[in-house]
Amino acid sequence: MVCSCGYSSHDIANTKISERVSIGGPRVEVITKEVEANPLTEADCPKCGHKKAYYWLVQTRAGDEAETKFFKCEKCKHQWRDYS
């Protein structure tokens, strides 16, 4: 018998197998609110008029053309795109 830690035993008849469970280890914190990872910029929301929006770039056309900039309003979460 061989353990994953490297210990090996040739006397199988006298080998004792046990499992140790530890309680109280590090806790995992669950976040229930949405966390925005995109950068924030000055942009006018066409829906509510708020002045700040998150943005990200996506290559939606051919590789030799400019990428498309997408916006998401910080306040009302409306999304739109800028083709310029």
Could you give the 3-state DSSP secondary structure of residue 70?
strand
Average of pLDDT values for 41-68? Answer: 92
Which domains, ranges and CATH numbers included, belong to the chain?
Answer: 33-84 (2.20.25.10)
pTM of the shown model: 0.57
pLDDT score for 2 = 72
Paired sense of beta strands 79-82 and 68-73, if any: antiparallel
Could you give the 3-state DSSP secondary structure of residue 13?
helix
pLDDT band at 1 (very low <50, low <70, confident <90, very high): low
